Amino acid sequence: MEMISVVVIGRNEGQRLINCIQSIQALDEPTEIIYVDSDSTDGSPERVKRLGIKVIVVHPERPTAAIGRNAGWQAASHSLILFIDGDTILNKDFLKVSLPIFDDPKVAAVCGHYRELYPEASIYQRVLDLDWMVPTGVVSSCGGIVLMRKNVLEKVNGYNSQLIAGEEPEMCQRIRASGYIIHRIDQPMILHDLAIKNWSQYWRRSVRTGHAYAEISNLLKNSPLADFYKEKAGGILWHQESKKNFINAGIWLTIFLFSFSLTLFSWLPLLFCIGLFLSLSLRTSWKNRWKSNNKFSIFLYGLHSHFQHIPIMVGQLSYYYHNWLGKRRKLIEYK
């Protein structure tokens, strides 16, 4: 069986990182494991070295996942690279299911299903666990955890290390423009530990998503990949989603602020707005009922789907503000 190079990236993941590497070491398939650390302060590199793993430490002024992944695959010895984040647990059967798909030379990358390791740990993780549930088949983008051909990475020059988020779909557009395809298979791939326990973490993660919307939309729309920019990337039509977010968030903020200003005269307008928000959330919950049998989780998912437009808009505005200042925002961390 062909050996695979596994590139694990992490920054201050603590015990989650050790659990991740041990899940890789438990595989039946022969693997080379490379851990790339983005300047952790919790002793992660030393702990990983004690497991007999090759460690690369990068000290970027502006840490990004892309920098770590690039350092990892460039140091890898084998033709297939499995990228995995240090806060995940790899499913033991994923490789044996996914490897035969690479018999097709046009296949550049294969990924599977992501789910949360502890969905009941908080209402935020319960909701975000459902966000991972997406269609399978030939797709136009993958996430950060993916099995990929090294020669394709070489051909497209890897990840864009300037992006603090959304580096995977941006690179996938370059991969597709080179004539390759990406598969998402109906197979568990990893369990993820978002470790989001409070409101501020949820907010920052959504702001990070908004920053990615704005940065990638701005990057792709004037690039030679304009035709791919007009297509869906992993379920996200970047330029339309960016515009839709501004519209939706703007409408909600305008309605609520106007209604709140009328509370001096009557509470009815504000109650109407709350009722409208709940009604639309319930409609979204109903459309996504296939994601869970738990009615409370589905209801929370509906609320999340509409509310997240506000922090996403904040993230977009943050990108344009920093861009106007001629500065690049540093990594937005939520852990």
Q: Which domains does the chain have, with CATH numbers?
A: 4-197 (3.90.550.10)
Q: Of 290, 12, 272, nearest to 130 (Cα)?
A: 290
Token duo for residue 297: 């989780």
pLDDT at 234 over 50: no
Instruction: Give the count of alpha carbons within 13 A of 160, CB side only.
Output: 19
DSSP-based three-state secondary structure for 79: coil
Its sign, for the CA torsion 310, 316, 319, 324, is negative
Burial zone of 155 (CB within 10 Å; 0-12 exposed, 13-18 middle, 19+ buried):
middle
Crossing angle of helices 295-307 and 123-131, in 10° steps, is 80
Task: Give residue 1's pLDDT band: very low, low, confident or very high (50, 70, 90).
Answer: low
Could you read off the pLDDT of 159-177 as tens digits, one per residue?
Answer: 998 888 888 888 988 999 8
Give me the pLDDT at residue 227, please.
52
Token duo for residue 56: 């690369």
Average pLDDT over residues 58-79: 90
Please, what is the average pLDDT of the chain?
Answer: 88
Could you read off the pLDDT of 116-170 as tens digits, one per residue?
Answer: 999 999 999 999 999 998 888 998 888 899 999 999 999 999 999 888 888 888 8
Give me the pLDDT at residue 179, please.
92
CA–CA distance, 331 with 39 (Å, rounded to integer): 13
Calculate the CA 220 to chain-centre distance: 18
SS (H, E, C) 227-244: HHHCCCECCECHHHHHHH
Is the Cβ–Cβ distance between 191 and 89 less than 8 Å? yes
Could you read off the pLDDT of 170-201 as tens digits, one per residue?
Answer: 898 899 989 999 999 999 999 999 889 999 99
What secondary structure does DSSP assign to 136-149, as a single string? Answer: -EEES---SSEEEE
Average pLDDT over residues 15-32: 90
Which residue in the block uniquely carries the two structure tokens 């939309």? 217
What secondary structure does DSSP assign to 148-193, as a single string? Answer: EEHHHHHHHTS--TT-SS-HHHHHHHHHHHTT-EEEEEEEEEEEE-
Could you read off the pLDDT of 283-310 as tens digits, one per residue?
Answer: 999 999 999 999 999 999 999 999 999 9
pLDDT at 108 over 90: yes
